[in-house]
A and B are shown apart, each in its own frame.
Chain A
Amino acid sequence: MNTYIIKRLTAMVVTLWLIVTLTFFLMHSLPGSPFNQERTTSEAVQKNLEAFYHLDEPLLVQYGSYLKSLLTLDFGPSIKNSSQDVNDMLGRGFPISFELGLWTLLVAITSGIILGVVASLRHNGIIDYLAMTIAVVGISVPNFVMATLLIQQLAVKWPIFPVATWSSSMHMVLPILALATGPMAIIARLTRTSMLEVLTQDYIRTAKAKGLSPFKIVVKHALRNALLPVVTVLGTLAASILTGTFVIEKIFAIPGMGKYFVDSISNRDYPVIMGTTVFYSTILIVMLFLVDLMYGILDPRIKLHKKEGK
């Protein structure tokens, strides 16, 4: 168990280091300095600015100092908006994005599992077809389309929910719905497939032979085994929700981290892009790790210390 965790932690650090390095050199391989675009700045001002951001030093030195500041969790200042640090932006944006992401994940998981289980229990029935149609539509409709539809229907046509900003729980409903549809559909399909597979297993027949009720068989015997494959995709889903927040926060004008990220892309604000990328990557890598640990706990057959590459 411990050796496995240490191994995984090392791999995580390597991946992170790879991302940091990749991001850093990619950003610095761009021709010219970020200040070139603004023609108004004089030669001297530009020199000063470059000195302030250490852009005049050799690349490797800059790389070294960036790594060092990352170790102290300092993502450096923003270039376009010198009054604030990347850390400030993350500090303000992250709690909001985190709230959005977490709720989305919860909504997607619970509704997805319920939909999938119900569909599998009514295999080839009307409910099954209905649930799977919802699921395929959910996978097929991009979240920005979903978001627009929701706004048009539930905010403009029938003003049930307020939109824009993140000020009350009512404001949260539509963004969460828009973001949760895709992951929910994926979970529903996966749960259904995996339930159908599990329900044909011998141990389900054994449970039936014991005289257990269908409810007990589903909840105690089938569900836990059926959810194992679902757990494995949670990491990837978290990643897609995370990138989804960029779009959703932009559409709903939510002042989350995604909005800063998208703005920094259009502004070519490199420290912010680097900072948020590294931050996002860390979250995702930790998520993947937690999912693996969870899988190990849920499936007693998996001995974590014996596990050698998948």
Chain B
Amino acid sequence: MELRKQHESNISPEVPDEWFVPKPKDRNEAEAVVRPSLSYWQDSWRRLLKNKLAMGGLVFLVLLVFMAIIGPLLSPHTLDQELTRQNLPPSSEYWFGTDELGRDVFTRTWHGARVSLFVGAAAALIDFIIGVIYGGIAGYKGGRTDNLMMRIVEILYGLPYLLVVILLMVVLGPGLSTIIVALSVTGWIGMARIVRGQVLQIKNYEFVLASKTFGTKTGRILRKNLLPNTMGPIIVQLTLTVPTAIFAEAFLSFLGLGIQPPHTSWGMMANDGLSTILSGYWWRLFFPAFFISATMFAFNVLGDGLQDALDPKLRR
């Protein structure tokens, strides 16, 4: 009540008179941007760095590639058979043990890593190229072209993926290159759909319409505007394509349709190891199975992390 009375006289004695002078004008203060602005990629990278699980996945994959390159050189043993040393458990001599032909599992694991990673990378690259071109054209042209192209995709989508791959492997015969061909025949469809969807959505954004009205050429629009903006979902899809391909290779090798000896892959090693697991030679299944699972895991968490990091909606 005391306070109110003072107000009614409209003088606040606590506040000195000399403060009642006009404030110097500095309008910029109100407009000043408080936090530093980051570019899309910088911001995404910053957020990915914060995601420990995803970074763990990334580190694992980098190490894996490194080991695939130099791993076989680290062990004194080669891929050669040493029939006197069959099914030895892991030891200081044979770090991952040996198999029934006396081959060093450690050396074989990294040879297998080469094959698995190569299959994954090649499948992802081919999917990327075909998918982006096909989806990009369908989405950008729109109308009848789009309709026709998507009809084809829809029919192909109805084909059971692994069945087609199996069928092709039966016909083409097993081998590394046939695996990649077989995986690519249907693998690009998912990518094409995503790219088309993104392009369709972004095509109608104001900023793309704006550059169109300025008379920018179609190719330039695609390169400058559409591709950077569709990159996020494409990267995420790629991180999921790689493990799918690795898994498919393992699956095919497991059915005896994959890589043929003397080459090796994790799937093949797992298949060999499977039959001996009950004899107690656990290391023969454990190491390939562990690396398949860990690689899939690493790609999955990295893919999740990228999805979160690249999502513009989640920017803070």
The answer to whether A and B touch in the complex, with CB atoms under 8 Å apart, is: yes
Residues in A lying within 8 Å of B, measured CB to CB: 11-12, 14-15, 18-19, 22-23, 26-27, 29-30, 136-137, 139-142, 144-145, 148, 151-152, 156, 239-240, 242-243, 246-247, 251, 262, 265-266, 268, 273, 277, 280-281, 284-285, 288, 309-310
Kindly list chain A residues whose C-beta atoms are within 8 Å of the C-beta of B234: none
Say whether B125 faces chain A, with CB atoms less than 8 Å apart: no
Say whether B285 faces chain A, with CB atoms less than 8 Å apart: yes
Complex CA gap A33/B139 in Å reads: 46
Q: Are A243 and B160 in contact (CB under 8 A)?
A: yes
Q: List 20 A-B contacts (CB under 8 A).
A: A12-B158, A18-B155, A26-B170, A26-B171, A30-B171, A136-B297, A136-B301, A140-B243, A140-B296, A142-B289, A144-B250, A148-B289, A239-B162, A240-B162, A243-B163, A247-B254, A262-B255, A265-B166, A280-B160, A281-B163
Say whether B80 faces chain A, with CB atoms less than 8 Å apart: no
Complex CA gap A111/B256 in Å reads: 33
Say whether B150 faces chain A, with CB atoms less than 8 Å apart: yes
Q: Contacts A142-B250, A265-B255: A239 and B274 contacting too (C-beta < 8 A)? A: no
Say whether B147 faces chain A, with CB atoms less than 8 Å apart: yes
Complex CA gap A80/B250 in Å reads: 27
Say whether B270 faces chain A, with CB atoms less than 8 Å apart: yes
Q: Are A309 and B163 in contact (CB under 8 A)?
A: no
Residue of B nearest to A281 (CB): B160
Q: Are A309 and B277 in contact (CB under 8 A)?
A: no
Say whether B292 faces chain A, with CB atoms less than 8 Å apart: yes
Kindly list chain A residues whose C-beta atoms are within 8 Å of the C-beta of B254: 144, 247
Chain B: number of interface residues, binned into ranges = 35 or more
Complex CA gap A142/B277 in Å reads: 16
Q: A140-B297, A265-B166, A277-B167 are in contact. List 14 more A-B contacts (CB 8 A).
A: A18-B155, A137-B297, A141-B296, A142-B250, A144-B271, A145-B285, A239-B162, A243-B162, A247-B251, A247-B254, A266-B256, A281-B160, A288-B158, A309-B151
Say whether B293 faces chain A, with CB atoms less than 8 Å apart: yes
Nearest-neighbour CB distance to chain A for B201, whole angstroms, equals 14
Interface positions of B from 289 to 315, Cβ below 8 Å from A: 289, 292-294, 296-297, 300-301, 304
Complex CA gap A27/B289 in Å reads: 33
Interface string of B11-31 (1 = CB under 8 A from A): 000000000000000000000
Q: Are A23 and B251 in contact (CB under 8 A)?
A: no
Kindly list chain A residues whose C-beta atoms are within 8 Å of the C-beta of B270: 142, 144-145
Q: Which of A11, A142, A151 has the most CB of B within 10 A?
A: A142
Say whether B123 faces chain A, with CB atoms less than 8 Å apart: no
CB-contact partner of A148 in B151, B171, B277, B304, under 8 A: B277
Kindly list chain B residues whose C-beta atoms are within 8 Å of the C-beta of A243: 160, 162-163, 251
Q: Are B255 and A140 in contact (CB under 8 A)?
A: no
CB-contact partner of B154 in A11, A139, A141, A246, under 8 A: A11
Residue of B nearest to A19 (CB): B159
